[in-house]
Amino acid sequence: MKINWGTGIVIAFALFMAFILYFVFEVQSNSKYDNDLVVEEYYKHDAQFGKEMQRSQNAQDLADKPKVVVTPEGVVITFPDTFVPNKIKGNVSLYRPSNKKLDFEVPISISSPTLLIPKKSLVGGRWDINMEWQYEGKSYLTKETIYIN
């Protein structure tokens, strides 16, 4: 049987379409290719953007800002010495862009100006840290990106 060039183009086009359809179904059905949103309730989060910017500006206005340092023990967050440590309340959210299952939060409840997040809790790679904290009725938001080896 001889195949002319028109039939060959149709066969090639059909095979290409079959490959694309297979790829789409594989990506949609396999949990390895997780395509979740970054934030679960996107629109609610977006509506709070103005408040988030105010908290971020409050943190920028500080003369002495919190510092995030990666050490062999883990991640050390040092708050300004001008603040009384036990009056600082809030949460530190650690967000892993590549895998939302690794995300976790640590409550800020300290008696010294430092908070240690142990290295055993952190997988190597990029981490985004969001510190939402309050001190004497004023809210602050600090965002940092760190890399763990």
Looking up residue 143, the CATH number of its domain turns out to be 2.60.40.3760
Task: Please give the span between the terminal C-alpha atoms of the chain, in angstroms, as a whole number.
Answer: 61
How far apart, in whole angstroms, are the C-alpha atoms of residue 110 and residue 81? 13
- How confident is the model over 83-107, as pLDDT tens digits? 898 899 999 999 988 888 888 999 9
Task: Give pTM, 2 decimals.
Answer: 0.69
Hey, what are 90's tokens?
């809030």
Residues 99, 142 share a domain: yes
Residues 79, 135 share a domain: yes
The total number of structural domains that make up the chain: 2
Q: What share of the chain is helix, strand, coil (3-state, %, to 5)?
A: 35, 35, 30
- How confident is the model over 18-49, as pLDDT tens digits? 999 999 988 888 777 766 656 667 677 777 78
Question: Mean pLDDT for the chain?
Answer: 88
Burial 77-98 (b: 16+ CB within 10 A, else e): bebeeebebeebebebebbbee
Domain with 5, as residue range(s), is 1-35
Residues 71, 105 share a domain: yes
Residues 130, 61 share a domain: yes
pLDDT cut 70: percent of the chain above it: 93
Beta-carbon neighbour count of residue 118 at 10 Å?
Answer: 10
Residues 87, 126 share a domain: yes
pLDDT (0 to 100) of residue 34:
65
Residues 108, 71 share a domain: yes
Residues 47, 31 share a domain: no
With beta carbons less than 8 A apart as the criterion, state whether 91 and 107 touch. Answer: yes
Q: How far is CA 141 from the centre of its chain?
A: 15
Q: What Rg do the C-alpha atoms of the chain give, in angstroms?
A: 24
Residues 46, 78 share a domain: yes
With beta carbons less than 8 A apart as the criterion, state whether 98 and 124 touch. Answer: no
Residues 101, 81 share a domain: yes
pLDDT (0 to 100) of residue 35:
60
Q: How sure is the predictor about 132, in pLDDT bands with cuts at 50, 70 and 90?
A: very high
Q: Which residues touch 67 (CB under 8 Å, ≥6 apart)?
A: 77, 78
Residues 132, 94 share a domain: yes
